[in-house]
Structure 1
Amino acid sequence: MFYRLAAPALFALEPETAHRLTIAALRLAPDRAPPADGPLGSEIAGVRFPNPVGLAAGFDKNAEVPDAMLGLGFGFVEVGSVTPFPQPGNPRPRLFRLTQDRGVINRMGFNNAGAQAAVARLARRRRVGVVGANVGANKDTPDRIADYVAGIRTFAPLADYLTINISSPNTPGLRDLQAEGELAALLSAIAGERRAGDPPVFLKVAPDLTGGDHERIVRAALDHGIAALIVANTTVSRPTLSSRDAGETGGLSGAPLHDLALAQMRRFRAIAGAELPLIGVGGIASAEQAWQRIRAGASLVQLYSALVYEGPGLARRMTRGLEHLMRRDGFASIAEAVGTE
């Protein structure tokens, strides 16, 4: 009810301003316990997730409100992307609502306050609920691999899992790390830094893959101990769009990404089978869409852009809907349903 009343005022603001006000309000929100483990719970890469609905990276870049978002019903929250050193990102405006299409275009450019600011906040947490850290490389770094290794080393003591983000389209050359030689070098360097007891490492990939990219990425992930793939980041492709800002450059997310992200999930599942867990993200805005992604191969799902249009009650609505769909289709757990499309 509150969101329905507040939404017109938020939509009247420039999107990034509205987002900062949302973060500020969440910082003042009363404490709520994270979701309890229940019928939707599952274990992925040694981490117990109380439900499969997660908050994708990008919403809470600086680890300001992970516990507030867990309190809204998310089974896990991914903070970041965080780079070793602070950086302002790209010039504003850099965030655009595509209201008619229920989508978003962003060209933020890994704007964040740097690893030490995020570390200080995470260190003050009670460590209740599942929180992952998404790490990236500074735009002006002379050694991107070293930046990722530093991120993994820095956040390992504080996060339940770590995500390597090499798929943002808004840092020039970053997606080149998905190429065969670069990817092997990156994952090898990260594997060499990991110690016994460190949290699992996930790899977030782009939806704009072709040819043998999927097979190559799966093989590299398995060879270097990557625990799961997150499929997929924003797209630089453009389906037919109707909104005023449809021509802006940057990564497209939300409803227009749905079909492409689902197709990529199916492709990765066909190649990896049950050997490598997959996390589905991109255009998921309802329990039905989350269930479709799970049946297509996702062990977990994430969302972000849908919150703009559906409001903060979305995670709880989705988990209630998923429990109904799981029982309707005769499954005793989410794990049973994964890849049964």
Structure 2
Amino acid sequence: MALYSLVRPLAFALDGEAAHRLTIRSLKLAPAGRPAKADPVLKVNVAGLDFPNPVGLAAGFDKDAEVWRQMLGFGFGFVEVGTLTPQPQAGNDRPRLFRLAEDRAVINRMGFNNGGQAAALARLARRHRNGGIVGVNIGANKDSPDRIADYAAGVRAMLGVADYLTVNISSPNTPGLRALQDKGALDALLAAVMEARGVGPPVFLKVAPDLERQDIDDLAAVAIARKIDALIVSNTTVSRPVLRSKHREETGGLSGAPLKALALARLRDFRRATGGALPLIAAGGIETAADAYARIRAGASLVQLYSALVYEGPGLARRIASGLRALMESDGFARLTDAIGTEKP
């Protein structure tokens, strides 16, 4: 943290997207660290995968699967790359990424900018499958005439290199994408995805926080019926709590600290709606061990973060993992799995 406190002012002097690209280029030049070793207290099995600790890097940081090795070396229990679409696409017009420093938040309207699945596949094909857990987040191209076909194609393309696949239908920055969360459309999508997956890796579904009660119940029912392996709750929000930054009126998805309460509420909703029938992965506003612990107590088996790295630096994963151990021990839990879902109503 001391080193990052010196570097951060230099990064913050740059446009948010320029700083991010500089970070990726710098990480590509750095040697890959060793993946986290399995912690006997924090390890957890989800969908048949043994996660060494529950702290993961959310999709969006390593969009093109360029630096997953380096990020695993910072102590993350798993890394999710993407979102990757079948064809390369430039995304939305710039500027499209805004730091809200006063609110410890980010607004983005990136629009699934990425170099396409073929380019990422070539990089991922070179990785050793025992070198840490790497998930691949897939999406549809903005101009696709058949978005369900795009997701099925993404599954087929990436199933040989992914430890798990995430179907991302929750980004607010591709027009019409969130309509795939509607019950009928979601059922058709997941049927196609699971058929394309066959006997391949687990499939996770990433959902938005901006859902009504009936939407949550319908989504949970379809996910269970189609035998999805886990739900990631949640993506960015289009809602706007009270914000202080001059960028507060920018359109796009809001992430970071202001999303914390909403994301926790949706996690509780999905825990109720699924009745524990599906593993839950919590994302949104997680920046401390206490945040991660609250999500685990509320029913999450794993947590993911991204925006907090902008403000806390790459050592955050290890600090959260260490803090989790202390919080669990103080409550008398011998293992992470003992703490999952123990929050009192």
Structure 2 length as normaliser, TM-score?
Answer: 0.98
What SS does the corresponding residue of 1:140 show, helix, strand or coil?
coil
Alignment of 1:313-332 (within 5 A): 313-332=315-334
Alignment of 1:169-184 (within 5 A): 169-184=172-187
Greater shift, 140-149 or 185-194, is seen at 185-194
- The C-alpha deviation readout for 1:56-87, integer Å capped at 9, x for no partner, is 00000000000100000000000000000000
What SS does the corresponding residue of 2:185 show, helix, strand or coil?
helix
Alignment of 1:1-341 (within 5 A): 1-38=2-39, 39-127=41-129, 128-196=131-199, 198-341=200-343
Q: Amino acid of the residue matched to residue 35 of structure 1?
A: A
Q: Distance in 2 between matches of 1:275 and 1:13?
A: 45
What SS does the corresponding residue of 1:212 show, helix, strand or coil?
helix
1:336 Cα offset (Å): 1.2
Runs of 4+ in 1 over 3 A off after TM superposition: none
What SS does the corresponding residue of 1:147 show, helix, strand or coil?
helix
1:28 Cα offset (Å): 1.3
What SS does the corresponding residue of 1:118 show, helix, strand or coil?
helix
1:304 Cα offset (Å): 0.2
What SS does the corresponding residue of 1:316 show, helix, strand or coil?
helix
Q: Distance in 2 between matches of 1:141 and 1:271?
A: 32
Q: Distance in 2 between matches of 1:293 and 1:83?
A: 30
- The C-alpha deviation readout for 1:175-227, integer Å capped at 9, x for no partner, is 0000011001001111222222x110000000000031111111100111100
Q: Amino acid of the residue matched to residue 106 of structure 1?
A: N
1:273 Cα offset (Å): 2.3
Structure 2 unaligned blocks of 5 or more: none
Q: Amino acid of the residue matched to residue 243 of structure 1?
A: S
Structure 1 length as normaliser, TM-score?
Answer: 0.99
What SS does the corresponding residue of 2:123 show, helix, strand or coil?
helix
Q: Distance in 2 between matches of 1:30 and 1:194?
A: 33
1:270 Cα offset (Å): 1.3
What SS does the corresponding residue of 2:265 show, helix, strand or coil?
helix
Q: Distance in 2 between matches of 1:130 and 1:111?
A: 24
Q: Distance in 2 between matches of 1:271 and 1:181?
A: 18
Q: Amino acid of the residue matched to residue 147 of structure 2?
A: R
What is the aligned residue count? 340
**Root mean square deviation of aligned Cα:** 0.7
Q: Distance in 2 between matches of 1:162 and 1:256?
A: 28
Q: Amino acid of the residue matched to residue 174 of structure 1?
A: L
Q: Distance in 2 between matches of 1:315 and 1:211?
A: 32
Q: Amino acid of the residue matched to residue 44 of structure 1?
A: V
1:296 Cα offset (Å): 0.6
Q: Amino acid of the residue matched to residue 123 of structure 1?
A: A
1:30 Cα offset (Å): 2.0
1:125 Cα offset (Å): 1.2
Q: Distance in 1 between matches of 2:218 and 2:32?
A: 44
Q: Distance in 1 between matches of 2:82 and 2:22?
A: 18
Q: Distance in 1 between matches of 2:326 and 2:281?
A: 21
- The C-alpha deviation readout for 1:83-127, integer Å capped at 9, x for no partner, is 000000000000000000000000000000000111011011122
Q: Distance in 1 between matches of 2:108 and 2:9?
A: 21
What SS does the corresponding residue of 2:328 show, helix, strand or coil?
helix
